[in-house]
Every structure is written in C-alpha cells, then in structure tokens.
Structure 1
Amino acid sequence: MGAMGSAPSGDPEAGGDPGPGGGPVRGRAGDLRGRRIAGYVVEEEIGRGGMAVVYRAHDVRLDRTVALKLLAPELARNDTFRQRFAHESKVAAAIDHPHIVPVFEAGETDGMLYIAMRYVAGQDLRALLDRTGPLPVDTAARIAGQVASALDAAHAHDLVHRDVKPGNILVAAGTDSEHPEHVYLTDFGLTKKSLSLTGFTSVGQFVGTLDYVAPEQISGKPVDGRCDVYSLGCVVYETLAGGPPFQRDDDMALLWAHQYDPPPPVSSRRSGLPAGVDEVLARALAKSPEDRWESCLEFTGALRRAGAGATSSGAGAGAGAGPGDAVAPPPRWALPVFRAASPTETT
C-alpha cells in the first residue's frame, strides 16, 4: 500500500468536518475523506503521530497523488507547534536529494497548516521487518546505505535528524536488479534547526524514539551528525537481529542501557553473520560520539564490506585521514537512482 513517513510517536485527536463557515476542523480524522484542503482532495489516512496526520490526497491542479500532512487542529492552537510545523516544511525543502521525500508545497488554509509531499507507493521499514523478519546482510546494507546518503546530505546542511527509526524509512520499488528498492528518509520536522527556531526543546527534554535514541540526546548534550550514526546503527542492528540492541521492561531501564550498557553483539542474536559485522556495529553504537564512525556513509560502507567478508579494520582506515588525503567516493550502490522533482514541478 502507499505510505508516507510517520510523524513523531503519539496519538492525538485530529480533525473532522469543518463547520458551515469553513472554520477549524473538529472531530475524527477519518471524517476528512473527500474534503478539499487547499488544492488537494483527501482520500485516505496513511499515517498518524503526535504532531500530525498524513493523508493520501489528490492534487487537483496537477492531477497527481500526494501525501498531505496536516497539523492536528488541537495542536494548531498552540503557537509553538504551529511554528514548528511551518519550519519543518522549510527544513525539508532545503535539501534536494533522491533519498529525502521532496516537499511540493506548504501553506495554511482555513486555520490548518499543511505540507504536500511526494507520495511514496510502498511500505516503511517497520512494516517490512514485521512482515519478513531479519533481512539478509546485503539487503540491510543496501537499505542503510541509501538512508546514510540522505543523512550525510542533511548533515552537510547542518541538519541533524535525531529520530532515525524504521517508521521514518520508506522502502519503495527500485529500478532494476542492482537497485531492488529505493529508500526515502522522512520526517525532518524533528531536526536540530527547526527545533532551535521554535524553542520546542528545553533542558531535560530530548527528541527521538527510545529504542534508537543516542546517549548524548538522553543526557541533553549538544548533538551532531554522529547522533544519527548511532540511531542508524540501532536500525541496522534491528534489520539483522529482528529487534533493537537494547530491550528492557520499562523506559528508564531502556534509557539507562543506551547510556551505560554495552550492546550485545548482533551475532549473539543471529548466527551465521560474517565476523566483521559485530565490530562495525559496535563502533556505530559507541557511547561516545568521538568513538563512532565519522559519517553515516563511512559506517554503511564498512558494513557492506564486512557483510561481504572483508575486515572492518580496513574499512574504517579513512577515519584518521588527514585533510590532504583523498577521500574515496561513495560506492555505486549508494548513489542516487534518480533526481528529485525540480521546483518547477511543484506548483
């Protein structure tokens, strides 16, 4: 089925039919089906989270299917949430990358904030794992490499995602046997830049999903791209082992584990993996950012080589390279399959 990246975790009430005067929508989100919002006719709810609801909708002007993200009306009355939602569209649109869901339009109508994005026909990684269980190493590395490409592009724009998880990774059909899937990373509304603009975070708060949150997020320390390396490491671990590295009975125990407990080797959860995979993941899941891979593509490149039976020590040799040393280009399998829509297509 078609799917769009889920919003942050949670389940608020969201809107229904507007009143006779076209005022704010109230009631059940499902009541929006058939309604026209800006230039889009709502067809079906496809995602729901703590801040927004995502619908499949029809763009009546350009005759195409889009994913339409709406802020829950109850939250729209909160200026902080409104600002956060508005900034998300700017943050997401700031990067033109084939593995980041492109934003077509953002605006406000009848008291509702909306973002229209490319509709991705496929499923998220959460649904894929629930359906298939652990993935082959080469498949896990291939998916992770595309996510890594998106994250490194965001980091180059000084954007840190901070909520990398299976539900935010969309897996669509690829173009050929060498690219059997095309992956998109969604939900850049939790980025460092958008949150700093809105003041949404404060001392003692962090953004992220507990199974994948980095230690420095929990402790409230400044974060950079290596925070996403950790979260991507947790996701890769789950794609190989069938579950995240830390599984505890309550949230506090889980947060403690991320900060202080060593992650169990993935080979202890799944036999038959190449020996180097444990070492690659251990570095991605290091407690200190300084001990992790320097970039997401460096991590997934090492994973790919380890999965093929090569030693990970050679894979990470570039981490200590000096500024004058040549940097190897990303492997061909991690390169874009196609370019995102150009701005002239958006409206």
Structure 2
Amino acid sequence: MSGGADPLREPAGGEIAGYRIESRLGRGGMAVVYRAHDPRLDRTVALKLLAPELARDDVFRQRFTHESRAAAAIDHPHIVPVFEAGETDGVLYIAMRYVDGLDLRHLLDRDGPLAFPAAVRIAAQVASALDAAHERGLVHRDVKPGNILVARGTDSDHPEHVYLTDFGLTKKSLSLTGFTSVGQFVGTLDYVSPEQIAGRPVDGRCDEYGLACVVHETLTGRPPFVRDDDTAVLRAHRNDEPPAVTAARPDLDGAVDKVLAKALAKAPDDRYPTCLAFVAALRAATPGNRRPVAGPPPWAGPVLRSGPFARRR
C-alpha cells in the first residue's frame, strides 16, 4: 500500500500486505472489505481492513491480533476460515476465505421472511459455530444478518451452507464489556443484548440473544425492537418484552413465541444455556412437537456472487 493512502479508499489494483486488491465488497462504520488475490498461494480472499483509529488503540490492536489468531485456530465447518491477521503501515487487516454466496441481510432484503424450516436450518448452523467459539472462550458480540453468509449446500437434504464471519472483532474472556478502550461500541443496535448495553461482563449468552434477534427477523422480516431512534432501540432491549412472532406469522405455533421469549430474556441466567439448546427448543416448537420436514431453500433466484459483508446493516 502506498504511503499516506487512506486504506478505506484504496482503489482496485492496489496492494495491501501482499494481497492484490480486485474490488470492494462492502463497507461498514469500522471497516472495509475487499475481494483480493493472494499471489503466494494463488487464491481469492476476502480482505478486511479496520479503521485506522482502531490501530492507534494499543489495547485494541493487541487484542485484535491475539483473538484473530485464536479464531483462526477454530476448525469448524460453519466459521469462515481466517488465513492471516496482522498490521501493515498502521492498518489492521484480516484475510479470510472468500465465500461465493450472499449474506443473510441481502437475502432478507431481497426475499423477505423465510419458511420456518429454512430459518431453523440457518439458525442451527450459526448456533453450532457460536457454541464452538464459546468453548474456546471467544464471544462474537455482533451476531447479525450481515455477518451470516449463506451459500449453496451440497444436496436437497442440505440446501444451504451457512458461515458465521467477523470473528476478527470478537472479545475474549468474560470480563470484557461492549466497548473498546477508545469508547467505541462493539455490536449492532438491532441485535445487541441488554448486558452489552449496560456495559456488564458478557459470555456466550449475549450471542444467543443476538441469534434470537436474527431468528425473529428471519421469521417476521423485522428485528424484535424497531423504534424511531437508536436511544429508543437500546431502551427497548433493556426494558420491553419482545413482540410475538405469531402476530406476524399466524402459521406458526404459539410455542415459538415462548422459545424466543426465553432466548430474549433480559437476564442471561434466564436464557438457554447454549445456542444449540435454543435452536433445539425452536425446532421442537412446531405443531405436535415434530421436527420440521425439509422445506424449500431460501433462494428466490440465482445465487448472487458476493463476499463477506456484501450488504451490512
């Protein structure tokens, strides 16, 4: 990367940390993601660059490098593999597998709410990834549709393959709050847990809360707490009861409301002990307590080529 260039405005054809930039995939408030080529191994990667001010925060920089390496050590079929993480010219970067698919944010914006079986299949794969990370002491803290990639599966029994991404910004240990040392909030307001908002210590159950918010949106088309401004959203997460899913989806059993209410409990101790336990309860919350039969995959058209963070809320 040429000296003095703004890494978040790097033009196509540039080079960063040995990766040749091909195109920009997406941009958020704290980072930009490019499709890039790794000439050393002749492969395409998704290259994420963090905002320069984060690299100037010594605590965040050290934690990012350590936890990205910890995430890279997780070999799990539903976690986007991390190839490399580091710092170059004062910019933090993380290179990940490029996934040929689309993110759940894009899918919901395009197609609207999903069929219950498809929503459960996606949630189960995300839950499996989260529980695997929690077993290693990693808490994701930003579970949202934009961080869930959906690619084509292998056959009719597995119509989609889901990846959870953005582990480069996870927070390790139970003692960390929802803020970096420079005062930046980690998380997305529509999916953030009450304990994160309050700045209290968190564990994997905050990710369960975020996943429950995502499930609510996959079933209804809206996250549970839609308000007029950010302050009202935060207040609702801390104080309001989630709306019943069945109000928007009368085709679902009332047991679904009870399961989501428990996963969205204000106190972590009142939620399910793991993300997979939440999904198991969700799966059972069907008429007659039967496991849902295979439903149609959530594709209304051809799979679009996109990488991580293609469209992010």
Query: TM range, normalised to the smaller chain?
Result: 0.7 to 0.9
Cα separation, partners in 2 of 1:231 and 1:199, compared to 1, 3 Å: closer
Q: Please list, as runs of the form range in 1=range in 2, the aligned pairs for 1:260-339 lying within 5 A after superposition.
A: 260-307=239-286, 309-310=288-289
Aligned to 2:16: 37
Higher CA-based Rg: 1
Contact 2:15 2:21 survives alignment (8 Å): yes
TM-score, with length taken from structure 1: 0.77
Aligned to 1:50: 29
Contact 1:99 1:146 survives alignment (8 Å): yes
Is 1:116–2:90 an aligned residue pair?
no
After superposition, the CA RMSD in angstroms is 2.6
Q: Please list, as runs of the form range in 1=range in 2, the aligned pairs for 1:65-80 lying within 5 A after superposition.
A: 65-73=44-52, 75-80=54-59
> What is the alpha-carbon distance in structure 1 between the residues aligned to residue 56 and residue 36 of structure 2?
24
User: 1:66: how far off?
Assistant: 0.7
Aligned to 1:179: 158
- Give per-residue Cα distances to partners, 1:303-327, cap 9 Å, x unaligned: 1221364189xxxxxxxxxxxxxxx
Contact 1:149 1:296 survives alignment (8 Å): yes
Cα separation, partners in 2 of 1:299 and 1:28, compared to 1, 3 Å: closer
User: What is the DSSP-based 3-state SS (H/G/I as helix, E as strand, rest coil) of the residue aligned with 2:78?
Assistant: coil
Paired residues, number: 291
Aligned to 1:221: 200
* Greater Cα offset, 78-87 or 44-53: 78-87
Cα separation, partners in 2 of 1:206 and 1:77, compared to 1, 3 Å: closer
Cα separation, partners in 2 of 1:209 and 1:229, compared to 1, 3 Å: same
Aligned to 2:309: none
Contact 2:174 2:201 survives alignment (8 Å): no
Contact 1:206 1:220 survives alignment (8 Å): no
Aligned to 2:5, which of 25, 44, 67?
Answer: 25
Q: What is the identity, as a one-letter code, of the residue corresponding to 1:39? A: G
- Give per-residue Cα distances to partners, 1:45-66, cap 9 Å, x unaligned: 1122233211101111221111
Aligned to 1:238, which of 200, 214, 217?
Answer: 217
- Give per-residue Cα distances to partners, 1:1-21, cap 9 Å, x unaligned: xxxxxxxxxxxxxxxx62xxx
Aligned to 1:97: 76
**For structure 2, which runs of at least 5 residues remain unmatched after alignment?**
292-313
Cα separation, partners in 2 of 1:113 and 1:192, compared to 1, 3 Å: closer
**For structure 1, which runs of at least 5 residues remain unmatched after alignment?**
1-16, 313-347
Higher relative contact order (CA 8 A, sep 6+): 2
User: 1:218: how far off?
Assistant: 1.3
Q: Percent identity?
A: 72
Cα separation, partners in 2 of 1:290 and 1:44, compared to 1, 3 Å: same
TM-score, with length taken from structure 2: 0.85
Cα separation, partners in 2 of 1:245 and 1:197, compared to 1, 3 Å: closer
> What is the alpha-carbon distance in structure 1 between the residues aligned to residue 178 and residue 103 of structure 2?
30
Is 1:106–2:85 an aligned residue pair?
yes
Cα separation, partners in 2 of 1:47 and 1:194, compared to 1, 3 Å: farther
User: What is the DSSP-based 3-state SS (H/G/I as helix, E as strand, rest coil) of the residue aligned with 1:230?
Assistant: helix
Contact 2:139 2:170 survives alignment (8 Å): yes
Aligned to 2:226: 247
> What is the alpha-carbon distance in structure 1 between the residues aligned to residue 9 and residue 100 of structure 2?
22
